[in-house]
Amino acid sequence: MKQLYTISIALFLLIAVAGCDGFLEHEPYASTSDNFWRTEADVRSALDAFYDYTSNEGVCGRGVFYYENCSDDVFTGRPQAPSDAYTCESFTMGAVNNLDVNNTWPAMYRMINKANNILRYVPDMAISDAVKDNAIGQALFFRAYAYLWLAPWYGDNSINGGIPIVTENTPIDDIDVPRPPTILDNYNRIIADMRDAAVRLPLLSQMSEADYGRPYRTAAWAFAARAALYAAQYADNSKAAEKHTQAEYYAMVVEFCDNIINLTGADKRELHEADPASGRTNFADLFRWENNFSKEYIYSILGNETAGPKFHGMFFQAGGWGYYNTWGYFMPTLELYNAYESEGDIQRREATILAPGEHIQFIGHDIQWCVNPTLMYSESALTNRKFMSVFADADCVGKYVNVNGNNQSNRLAVHIMRYSDILLMKAEALIWTQGEGNATAKTLINTVRRRAGLPENSPATRAALKKERRLEFAFELFPSRHLDLLRWGDAQATYAEPTTGWQVVVEGGAIVSRTVVTVRQPRNFNPNKHHVFPIPDAEIRKSKNLKQNEGY
């Protein structure tokens, strides 16, 4: 593991070009630590270096979503998907596999290394206090962000412990550190870093549009809330030895969420609606690239037609009928579709899932799913619609979408944190601590339901909160449905049920029948092993101290 952190700084320092998302388009910065860390321009380059992860296919493409593929919302789509995808979703995965998710661990520890370099060198630089403080804030943010990206998948509070914690104060010779005894050490570090970052970072209203997409105060509060929410599942109010009780973690969730909810003026966050004055709502409108920075924005991974995440085209028809090379790796389950149906949640369902017979515009072509063209790569006869607006126009390729279908970066931001998550995290903390039916939790959940065009009649029960999160965030990179099921203790029972879809028969250009079929058999989820995934074997072999998760 020592190799992971001590890679030359010259490999990761990058120069940004001009433009709102210019820090995505970078060139190598030819330097060494001997003549670097001298000017404010050096600091800016070091900060731009964080964004190399956005074009990493394993991190912001298929990568970590192979883990989300275990959930009851999605399953492996394209028939030619790697066999390792099936071993992952069936919980038979080993430490040695070929999934792109293997890229995530080293990419995030490189991010941690970059953050630690800034925290190590910038405080002593002869630069303005404002630039120095902002750089330290961004470094703290990205270090915590990287730990939060990894820890929930690989760490626990029992047999395995957390994931290695390396800071700017860790001696280089001792950088191959053992795992901490509990994942709470990771969450406590994340919360502390995000809290400190928030003090140093500007509000969004204090930033230039050219810097939109970089860390800012509201995003730091939001990720601190998520870390506290994830920590609460492991904390025990009876364990005085732990730094925080479960109730204290939930109180932190409320604190950080209230910091955001109580913002005013230009920084006030609210749910995006197409026309709030008329009462017309449009959930689908949120997933247009023109609305990347709507009032609902908290934090996203930006891309454009030349660089950035390859995430959105993962979900649609493999090969795109020759119009564009979408990849078709992940398809919706009928269980998810029916969860929308049971609520009468038509607006969010139609914005999220494309069902047989429904129409979509794709590269200027009117597609009637399952009917015209009849070729359909989805065993469930369902596919994703949520991220497809950027692929709609006939001239989108090269304008909004990468000309290379093997890359498919595009202008639609990958949402990592939205304001609706703030409302639902606070609601969850209140329900779990104050009891079902909590009046404030009802108001928070009903705010989300109103935007979805649903009656504002939530009972604010645990079951209602769980369903609202599922239907609001389906297919988004984060928050994760799989992690939600794990922390609620629902994974074993959920995964013991088969995954289903429709078998569709089309005759004469019309659908004549839809039959429910099983597309994935029940899975044997062992909560004592499968609550974490194996650390990539290549990372274990680099280290003397890094221990593999039990059973892998």
pLDDT on residue 24: 52
pLDDT of residue 22: 56
Cα distance between residue 222 and residue 79, in whole Å: 38
pLDDT exceeds 60 at position 483: yes
At 361 the three-state DSSP class reads strand
Are 547 and 179 within 8 A, CB to CB? yes
Q: What is the mean pLDDT of residues 536-548?
A: 96
Q: What does the pLDDT look like over 484-508, one tens digit per residue?
A: 999 999 999 999 999 999 999 999 9
Confidence of residue 274 (pLDDT cuts 50, 70, 90): confident
* In the predicted structure, residue 42 carries a pLDDT above the cut 90: yes
Model confidence at 81, pLDDT cuts 50, 70, 90, reads low
Q: How far apart are the first and last CA of the chain?
A: 19
- Asked if the model's pLDDT at residue 544 lies above 60, the reply is yes
Q: What are phi and psi of 36, to 5 degrees?
A: -105, 180
Q: Is 491 in a helix, a strand, or coil? A: helix
Backbone torsions φ then ψ of 160, nearest 5 degrees: -100, -35
Residue 35: what pLDDT? 85
pLDDT tens for 143-155 read 999 999 999 999 9
- Angstrom distances, CA of residue 217 to CA of 207, 299, 359, 365, 488: 11, 11, 41, 42, 29
Average pLDDT of the residues in 453-471: 97
pLDDT in tens, 130-141: 999 999 999 999
Structure tokens at 42: 């050096």
Whether residue 105 contacts residue 543, with contact meaning beta carbons closer than 8 Å, is answered with no
E strand or H helix at 298, and its extent? strand 297-301
Q: What does the mean pLDDT of the chain come to?
A: 92
The structure tokens listed for 226 are: 């998520």
Q: pLDDT band at residue 26, thresholds of 50, 70 and 90? A: very low
Task: State the pLDDT at residue 276.
Answer: 60
CA-CA-CA-CA torsion for 219, 473, 431, 246, nearest 10 degrees?
-60
Q: What is the pLDDT of residues 89-117, one digit of tens each?
A: 999 999 998 899 999 999 999 999 999 99
Rounded Cα distance between 118 and 366, Å, is 50
Reply yes or no on whether the pLDDT at 15 is more than 70.
no
Segments in 239-365 forming alpha helices (H): 246-261, 334-343, 346-352
How does 63-100 read in b/e, with b if 16+ C-beta sit within 10 Å?
A: bbbbbbbbbbbbbbbbeebbebbeebbbbebebebebb
Place of tokens 């074997």: 537
The residue ranking higher by pLDDT, 77 or 322, is 322
CA–CA gap between residue 106 and residue 535 (Å, rounded): 11
d(CA 396, CA 99): 30
pLDDT 10s digits, 417-454: 999 999 999 999 999 999 999 999 999 999 999 999 99
Residue with tokens 């026309």: 275
CATH domain 2-63+99-268 topology: 1.25.40
User: Strand pairing of 14-16 and 353-354?
Assistant: unpaired
pLDDT at site 11: 31
Res. 459: pLDDT tops 90: yes
Closest CA to 143 of 176, 125, 119: 119
- In the predicted model, is pLDDT for residue 79 greater than 90? no
pLDDT, tens digit, 9 for 90 and up, residues 200-213: 999 999 999 999 99
Instruction: Supply 275's token pair.
Output: 């026309």
Rg of the chain (C-alpha set): 23
What residues pair up with 383 in beta bridges, in sequence order?
354
Task: Check residue 210 and give its pLDDT.
Answer: 96
Span 140-190, pLDDT tens digits:
999 999 999 999 999 999 999 999 999 999 998 899 999 999 999 999 999
Calculated CA dihedral for residues 202, 207, 213, 214, nearest 10 degrees: -40
- Could you read off the pLDDT of 227-236 as tens digits, one per residue? 999 999 999 8
3-state helix, strand, coil in the chain (%, to 5): 45, 10, 45
Q: What is the pLDDT of residue 34?
A: 66
